[in-house]
Amino acid sequence: MMHAIEIDINCDMGEGAAFDALLLPYITSCNIACGGHAGDAEWMERTVKLALRNGVQMGAHPSYPDREGFGRKRLVMSKKDLQATIKKQVLCLKNIASTHGASLKYVKPHGALYHEMAVNSAEADAVIETIRKIDPKLALMGLAGSTMANVAHLRGIQFIPEAFADRRYQKNGLLLPRKVEGAVLSEPMEAVLQVRNLVRKQCVYGPAGERIKIEARSICLHGDNPEVVALLKALATDFKAHNIIRKSVTIA
């Protein structure tokens, strides 16, 4: 029998999807939208309550202030303005969580901000500096092996390297852009095989079949993927068959 492996499963939530409550039994961490690309105080409170009810670890999911583009448009902002919007978003959620006796454990940037931080050390440093000022115990969740991982280590903030169940990769370890056909996985078995490779082999396979090494401690599924419930159910079944255990990452 294969030895047991533990892995965190995270999902973006509080973005307006009608099926958020269906996701909680299958995940161990949730990234809660906090007003930049989606979400408001009502959605944040609703999601915090759902997470508490299901024993799911909570993180903030801030973005560029781009509700029209769902946070997927790169905005050129001054360091001061970027830090101000990140602080506003994270503190809003942090305060809502605290009123229910809960605490945030990490911050995971969303969309275009996430991708920019993966390659832009200045952008990553600005956000990480803000996180440290809000609460030095907060971890940063981000793309495994990316620039933001390096900056987090230099800044002395715990980094949670993540990989994606429902996205294809480029051979450089970055995600295949959404505009490319096939960039988003919607077939359950495709996602299952990718996660199995990530957990058991620490790799994914690129567009040309090339092996891409990725060492992740958390696996993400996008909450706005219409097939996310089916994907999570398929993963749960496969985990039982391959001795993979869902467990949230310990935040030091």
Q: Is the pLDDT of residue 242 over 70?
A: yes
Q: Where does residue 213 fall: left (phi above 0), alpha (psi -120 to 50 degrees), or beta otherwise?
A: beta
Q: Which of 65-74, 131-140, 223-232 has the lowest mean pLDDT?
A: 223-232
Q: How many domains does the chain have?
A: 1
Residue 1 confidence (pLDDT) above 70: no
Mean pLDDT, to the nearest integer, of 144-171? 95
For residues 234 and 191, the answer to whether their CB atoms sit within 8 Å is yes
Segment 130-137 shows an average pLDDT of: 96
Give the pLDDT confidence of 26-85 residue by residue, as tens digits. Answer: 999 999 999 999 999 999 999 999 999 999 999 999 999 999 999 999 999 999 999 999
Of 174, 213, 177, 210, which is closest to residue 197 (Cα–Cα)?
213
| Model pLDDT, residue 143 | 97
Q: Range of 20's domain?
A: 5-246
**At residue 114, does pLDDT exceed 70?**
yes
Q: Please give the model's pTM, rounded to 2 decimal places.
A: 0.95
According to DSSP, the β-strands at 211-213 and 203-205 are: antiparallel
Of 30-39, 89-98, 206-215, the least confident: 206-215
Q: What is d(CA 140, CA 251) in angstroms, rounded to the nearest whole number?
A: 10
pLDDT of residue 166: 87
Quickly state the pLDDT bin for 207 (edges 50, 70, 90). Answer: confident
Look at residue 251 and tell me if it is in a domain.
no
CATH value at residue 153: 3.20.20.370
Residue type, 194: Q
Q: Which two tokens stand for residue 172?
A: 């450089």
How much is the mean pLDDT over the chain?
A: 94
The token pair at 96 is 């809502």
Confidence class for position 149, pLDDT limits 50, 70, 90: very high
Tell me if 219 is assigned to some domain: yes
Q: Residue 101 has which token pair? A: 């006796």
Mean pLDDT of 114-134: 97
Average pLDDT (160-167) is 94
Residue 252 inside a domain? The answer is no
Helix (H, G, I), strand (E, B) or coil at 194: helix
